Structure 1
Amino acid sequence: MKGSLIILFFFCSGVLLARLDLIPSYLIEHDCTVYALWLLMLLVGISIGSDRRLGEILRTLRPRVLLLPMATTVGTFAGTALASLFLAYSVSECMAVGAGFAYYSLSSIFISQYKGAELGTIALISNIARELITLLLTPLLAKKFGPLIPISCGGASTMDTTLPVITRYCGKEWIFVSIVHAMVLDFSVPFWVIFFCTL
């Protein structure tokens, strides 16, 4: 939760600095978000590649484990497509926002780049909300519906920020599933977001 608040703080600071004309014109004219995006993709790759659990996870990976991230993807896309019926955004725009899977830092940059700051802001807030909902509701969801629902709800956050609460309320035996779930979704975010943004 602390990480989400820090991201939100920096986002609001950026908006405030821009509104007060305190940002150098060079940064605006040369669209530095593209360079930030490239750097972020490099750091994501480094993060996944340097994870000591990666080798163990890949060695013990069974095809059945991939069913949960697939179900999360299908459920998220179905929900966002349904939500588009009640919103002023197209189906593809809503699905691009949903395709962030709680990976707000990456998805909001992509969406801002392709669809503008308004939809990028919605993506940021929506994906932070998904993470916060998981943090707050995991005890109830795990008790009422079992361990798979909180993991699916957490999206790409289930190997970092929401992993402790999932471990506590779903059990340590679900750590591996939770990490694989997040890694698959993490990897898919750029592809899904770009796909829906370019429709």
Structure 2
Amino acid sequence: MYSGLLIVLLPLALGYGIPCRSRSIIHFINVAVARMVYLILFLMGISLAFVDDLSVHLGTIFTVCLVFLACITVANLAGLWLLDVKRGRLEGERGAPALSKWALLLDSAKLCLVILAGVLLGQLLDPEWFAVERLSEWALMLLLLLIGIQLRNSGMRLRQILLNRWGLAVALVVMVSSWGGGLAGAWLLGMPASQGLAFASGYGWYSLSGILISDQLGPVLGSAAFLNDLARELVAILIIPALMRRHPSCAIGYGGATAMDFTLPVLQRSGGVTVVPVAIVSGFILSLAGPVFILGFLSLTG
């Protein structure tokens, strides 16, 4: 039952075991990961095009996305608000001027356009000879290998993670509250609880959650998972500046795994350097936990 979990996580583990001190190689890997994300999302779009009566399933995609987004958002913000009540307001330096939200939103829009391009190309391809599932599987394994190398060489050490109690607390609250939201979403949609937990374990990592769920549950639910986590990232960009002063844990935690990369500049500019270690620790933990829990819960679907 867990063979699929081991096969997919093996490249991640192998990558995490590869030390690399060359800055040029690390830069190459970072660029390759960014390109691989576009490739895999493009292949996911082609897979979506191969679904019979795709227009009929669009309602399902957006309904599942919106229900999970609403449930997980409410659960996350409630849990992180309680953490802020215990910790109090953020004190310290003010952040730099805000980044252009339009530029960040444009980056996310590009990802949607890549999937759309895949759907359009998929209309011209024959699923009998174009082995999109096999290509997606190999591309995913390569992506996980590269991500494993990234995480190993991100500069984070176990001692740094364990000593940052705020970052640990944020990551734990995001995990547990996300599962609560996922269970609520699954109940509302009449889905198995294990699928709801898998949806909730993306933690904003849209490129990974969409691919893994698409591989296990099909491109319709995979697309819903992608949109759910992408929308979470977009909401985070919009609410971080408003939440940072009074509710810093909410601002840091809601972005989930993206707190260590995509939303990190927004967090730094809104809360100053004080929040950077917290964001990196919480994002790092959620990045490691995401694929493990997604595949673990999907393996229970059977």
For the criterion TM > 0.5, the same-fold answer is yes
Distance 1:174 1:8 in 2: 30
The aligned counterpart of 1:4 is: 108
Looking at structure 2, the residues matched to 37 and 46 of structure 1 have their Cα atoms a distance apart, in angstroms, of 14
Q: Give deviations 1:60-87, integer Å, cap 9, x for gaps.
A: 3316242221111001111111122222
2:207 corresponds in structure 1 to 105
Other-structure match for 2:292: 191
In structure 1, what residue type is equivalent to 2:111? I
The residue type paired with residue 204 of structure 2 is A
Query: 3-state SS of the aligned residue for 1:100?
Result: coil
Matched, 1:167 2:268: yes
> Which residue of the other structure, out of 148, 151, 171, is the alignment partner of 1:48?
151
Query: 1:118 and 1:102 mapped to 2: Cα distance?
Result: 18
Aligned to 1:101, the other structure's residue is in SS state coil
Q: Residue 179 of structure 1 corresponds to which residue in structure 2? A: 280
Q: Matches of 1:190 and 1:99 in 2, distance apart?
A: 8
1:113-132 correspondence to structure 2 within 5 Å:
113-132=215-234
CA distance in 2, matches of 1:63, 1:171: 17
**Is the contact made by 2:164 and 2:278 (CA closer than 8 Å) also made in structure 1?**
no
Q: C-alpha distance in 2, partners of 1:88/1:140? A: 35
Matches of 2:175 and 2:109, distance apart in 1: 26
Indicate yes or no: 2:180 matched with 1:93: no
Q: CA deviation at 1:13?
A: 1.2
Equivalent-residue separation in structure 1 for 2:270 and 2:127 (angstroms): 45
State the secondary structure of the residue aligned to 2:203: coil
Per the alignment, do residues 15 and 89 of structure 1 end up closer, same or farther by CA in structure 2, a change over 3 Å counting? farther
State yes or no: 1:66 paired with 2:168: yes
Matched, 1:13 2:117: yes
1:179 is aligned with what amino acid? I
Deviations 1:7-26 (A, max 9, x none): 22211111121123278923
The farther-off stretch of 92-101 and 155-164 is: 92-101
TM-score, normalization by structure 1: 0.89
Let me know the Cα RMSD of the aligned residues: 1.9
Between stretches 2-11 and 112-121, larger displacement belongs to: 2-11
2:252 is the counterpart of 1:136: no
TM (norm. structure 2) is: 0.60
Worse-matched range after superposition: 58-67 or 162-171: 58-67
Give the distance between the partners of 2:138 and 2:247, measured in 1 at CA: 42
- Residue type of the partner of 1:137? I
Cα drift, residue 47 of structure 1: 1.6
CA drift of 1:89 comes to 2.6
**Distance in 1, Cα, partners of 2:127 & 2:113:** 17
Q: What is residue 258 of structure 2 aligned with on the other side?
A: 157
**What SS does structure 2 have at the residue aligned with 1:149?**
helix
Matching of residue 147 in structure 1 with residue 248 in structure 2: yes
The counterpart of 1:37, out of the listed 116, 128, 140, is: 140
- Structure 1 residue runs of 5 or longer lacking an equivalent are none
**Aligned match of 2:78:** none
1 CA distance for matches of 2:160 and 2:153?
A: 18
CA contact (8 A) 2:164 2:281 kept: no
